[in-house]
Structure 1
Amino acid sequence: MTDPVMRLDQVNLVLKGHAGPVHILHDISLTVAAGDTVGLIGPSGSGKSSLLMLMGGLETASSGRVALLGRDLTRMSEDQLARFRRHHMGVVFQSFHLIPTMTALENVATPLELAGVSDAFARAAAELDAVGLSHRSGHYPAQLSGGEQQRVALARAVAPRPEILLADEPTGNLDEDNGRTILKLLFDLRDRDGSTLVLVTHADEVVRRCSRVIRLRDGRLSDDQQARAAE
């Protein structure tokens, strides 16, 4: 049996609040197989984005174990986590997080340069072309629309051809038409590269395209998800 791309064992997340500790996630155990397209759904405040951040090593579990590609993220230092993400993961946020002083091409090329890719700018140009923005490669983020900025962010995330692609409400700051465009591109690029995709979403059309749905409520897996994790 092939090892899962992602495994979480009894993961808890407790954060400090003004009134004391806040238990965000409770005893989350699940696995994600290679090539899965997983939708994280649930009410606002249910812990979806926090779970995605744990999966990406962008948040540290208070207890339990988070393993990706056979590597235990909970034992890694910040530098080790950064290197792991650089080589194996792409992340798309609701906010675009582009570097304002860099052009679209430079934004996409940056993670490739950091990874030591020799033809970083050629690869970046190809990715911008894949999202329909080759004509905007020399523009800065402030010169781009919201939909264009998110396409640049998507090109940047997939440029290193990561095994794992995480997306946190990637259409949340976009209008309906731009949202559809981003979702089509996201799934098309995922299919092109064969990445494992995990995304937080409220959109029914996204859920229908996922091979698997994980439901959260009050920081816990729903009853049917708990039963599946125990199988």
Structure 2
Amino acid sequence: MSDPVFHLSDVVLSLKGNAGPVDILRGISLDVQAGETLALTGPSGSGKSSLLMVMGGLEQATGGTVTALGQNLTTLSEDGLARFRQGRMGIVFQSFHLIPTMTALENVATPLELAGVTDAFDRAADALKTVGLGHRIDHYPAQMSGGEQQRVALARACAPRPAILLADEPTGNLDSTNGAAIMDLLFDLRDQYGATLVLVTHDPTLAQRCDRAINLADGKIA
């Protein structure tokens, strides 16, 4: 078997609180294989979003090691982590995090331009067409519905054709119809790009669509 896309060994995350350190993750060990789809489930406050952030290098583990695509993320600076993510990881949040003064096309193309992609706008337009928004490329976020904004966020995450897709409650701000459409799209994009997908969800139906689900409780794998 080839090396896992993610290898986590005894990962700990403690954050400073008013009454002292708060243990968010407490000794998480986990492997995720290439092309696998993994759901992180558990009650609010169980640590699942924090685990996703640690896997994406958006939060630094305070103990243990996190390896992604063979790179030990725990040894990298914030700049180093940002450089590592570029082109390798696509991240979709519950909040869409679109830039309100940019059109859909500009929102998707800008990260590609920053990564030095020469045909950034062509690729961005293709990504928006893939998510069914070819007719909305010149619209601003305020002119779009929540479902459309999440499609733009999906296009932005997938346009670099990353090896890894991370999604944190991607349907949390959407109604059931739009949520189901976004999830179908996320799985389609995973298949199209052959990406490894890790997602945080409260939805048991969505978790069942994944190859594997891990339930967290009190910062540990239950």
Which range, TM-score by smaller chain? Answer: over 0.9
TM-score, reference length from structure 2: 0.99
Q: Which stretches in structure 2 are left out of the alignment for 5+ residues? A: none
1:229 counterpart residue number: none
1:116 counterpart residue number: 116
Determine the C-alpha separation between the residues in 1 that align with 2:208 and 2:22.
33
Cα displacement string for residues 103-124 of structure 1 (whole angstroms, at most 9, x for unaligned residues)? 0000000111111111100000
Are 2:152 and 1:152 equivalent residues in the alignment? yes
SS at match of 2:177: helix
1:225 counterpart residue number: none
SS at match of 2:178: helix
SS at match of 1:4: coil
SS at match of 1:152: helix
1:218 counterpart residue number: 218
2:70 counterpart residue number: 70
> How many pairs does the alignment contain?
222
Identity level (%): 70
2:209 counterpart residue number: 209
SS at match of 2:34: coil
Written as runs of structure 1 = structure 2, the 5 A alignment for 1:1-231 is: 1-222=1-222
SS at match of 1:66: strand
Determine the C-alpha separation between the residues in 1 that align with 2:192 and 2:205.
20
**Residue identity matched to 1:24:** I
Cα displacement string for residues 168-218 of structure 1 (whole angstroms, at most 9, x for unaligned residues)? 000000011110110010000000000000000011221111001111000
**Residue identity matched to 2:147:** G
Determine the C-alpha separation between the residues in 2 that align with 1:196 and 1:161.
11
**Residue identity matched to 1:79:** D
SS at match of 1:87: coil
Determine the C-alpha separation between the residues in 1 that align with 2:182 and 2:19.
39
Determine the C-alpha separation between the residues in 1 that align with 2:177 and 2:204.
15
Q: Which stretches in structure 1 are left out of the alignment for 5+ residues? A: 223-231
* Residue 75 of structure 1: how far off its partner (Å): 0.4
Q: Which moved more, 1:46-55 or 1:14-23?
A: 14-23
SS at match of 1:28: strand
SS at match of 2:44: coil
Q: RMSD in angstroms over aligned alpha carbons?
A: 0.6
